[in-house]
Amino acid sequence: MFKHFIITRFNLRTTYWDKTKNNEDVLTNEWQQHRLEVFRQYCFPSIKNQVNQNFIWLVYFDTKSPDFIMKDIEKMKSEYKNFQPRFLSEMELIKEEMKTDMKKHFEKDTEFVISSRLDSDDALHRDFIHAVQNRFAKQETCIVDPEVGICLQTEPYFLISKYKTTYSPFVSLIESTENFKTVFSRIHNQWAGVCEVEKITGSILWLQLIHGKNLLNHMNADKFIYSKNILTEFGIDSKEIYPGTAYSLKVFYLNSVLLLKKMLRRFKW
């Protein structure tokens, strides 16, 4: 009936991103080593951890990736069959190439396709795929928008927050296989008002990682979270993460500040 694909871009070359938010060069060996470590610690285990494994994960790498990445790609292929690496010489080729790659997995009865975005330094909750597919109802064109997730800051200090937003980088697109375009046919925040939308509210379904080598991301919060245990729901080994001895006190302080700001906005003349 449908085929579901997660689409991830790893280290593709592009003209619009040559510096991190800290003004460091991207695609250097150091940058790619860091990206691979983040991918291995957060992104990769979160996909292996999905309760529903009825999907294919297309991950796009640069054709000139360094040897240490190429070797690890082979390891990941052997560790997880849903992981399907693909290679491109530049980012601009991805829209058409991904459609070609997706069609190769279509069967005679494949009438619909679901494509889900995932950045290589982010992660998905174990129920993400299940929640998205639960919204499938043979829609010709429909965005599935999981509104609630967590932000995990790893530097300059550890912090977890719960955050609700719309049309985030975690949207999925349900569409007919006839002339399908994929979720990457538009920037994630440009889907508003374009087609039918199925919103998923309440459940935490995604994790956005905040670190020094992001392009734009910064910490967002509706509420800061005391325990790191929620990370296990993303397949992440929380034992490797040490928040620091004063973490609970810091969270109490930050939540108090958020509450005060909300009160001031409510009583603002």
Cβ atoms < 10 Å from Cβ of 262: 11
78: Cα within 13 Å, side-chain hemisphere: 6
DSSP string, the chain: -EEEEEEEE-S---SS--B-TTSPBSSSHHHHHHHHHHIIIIIHHHHHT-S---SEEEEEEETT--HHHHHHHHHHHHH-TTEEEEEES-GGGHHHHHHHHHHTT--TT--EEEEEE--TT-EE-TTHHHHHHTT-S--SEEEEEE-EEEEEE-SSS-EEEEEE-SS-TT-EEEEESTT---GGGS-GGG-TTTSEEEEE-SS--EEEEE-TT-SS-----SEE-S-GGGGGGGT--GGG----TTHHHHHHHHHHHHHHHHHHHHT--
How confident is the model over 207-254, as pLDDT tens digits? Answer: 999 976 555 556 677 788 878 889 999 999 877 676 666 677 777 878
Q: What was the pLDDT predicted at 212?
A: 67
- Are 204 and 230 in contact, with CB atoms under 8 Å apart? yes
Q: What is the mean pLDDT of the chain?
A: 89
Q: What was the pLDDT predicted at 155?
A: 78
Q: What was the pLDDT predicted at 156?
A: 75
Domains in the chain and their CATH numbers? 2-266 (3.90.550)
pTM of the model: 0.89
Weakest-pLDDT range from 27-31, 179-183, 243-247, 255-259: 243-247
Starting from the edge strand earliest in sequence, which strands make up the sheet with 196-200, in order? 83-88, 56-62, 2-9, 112-117, 172-176, 141-146, 196-200
CA 29 from chain centre, in angstroms, equals 23
pLDDT at 15 over 90: no
Nearest residue to 209 via CA among 128, 126, 118, 144? 118
Q: What was the pLDDT predicted at 247?
A: 78
pLDDT at 20 over 70: no
- The pairing of beta strand 148-153 with beta strand 83-88: unpaired
How confident is the model over 99-157, as pLDDT tens digits? Answer: 999 999 999 999 999 999 999 999 999 999 999 999 999 999 999 999 999 999 887 77
Q: What was the pLDDT predicted at 222?
A: 79
Average pLDDT over residues 67-86: 98
